[in-house]
Amino acid sequence: MLLKSNGRTSIIGSINGFIPNDSDGGHAASRFAVEGYTDSLAMELASTGVHVGIVEPGGYKSKIRDKYVAQALTGEREKDFVIDDETRKSMIDYAASNEAMKDPLEVAQAVLHPDVQ
C-alpha cells in the first residue's frame, strides 16, 4: 500500500537516539538502533517515492512512568524488592515530574503533519 500510494511512514524514536544520557545506556543504545534502522529504511525506499520519517521526542507525559512507579512502590513487580526511603522519595518525585511534562498529543501531531514544526 505504501509503494502504490507513494505514501509515508513515521517511526517513533527518542531524543536519546542522538543525545544519550548517563542514567540509561540500554535505552540510548536501543534508540540509536532505531535511528540507524530509520536511516537505512529511508535509503532503501528512496527510489520508490515512499517517505520515511522519524519523530524523536524528548520528555512527554506517559502512563508508563506512573505504572512503573506504582508497581515499584507497591512491590507488585518484584515481591522481594525493598525500596529505601531515599529511593521511595526519588520515585515519587519522578512520578510527579510526569505531570509537568508536555502533552503527548504534540508527538501525534508531528506524525500526522510532518511538515509543520
Structural domains in the chain?
A: 1-60+102-117 (3.40.50.720), 61-101 (no CATH)
Question: Which H or E run includes 54?
Answer: strand 51-55
Q: Is the pLDDT of residue 13 over 80?
A: yes
Mean per-residue pLDDT for 81-106? 85
Mean per-residue pLDDT for 90-105? 86
pLDDT tens across 15-59, in order?
888 788 788 888 889 999 999 999 999 999 999 999 999 988 888
- Compute the distance between CA of residue 60 and CA of residue 58 in angstroms, rounded to an integer: 6
Q: Which of 45, 39, 41 is nearest to 3 (CA)?
A: 45
Distances (CA, A) of 24 to 28, 55, 64, 98: 6, 20, 16, 17
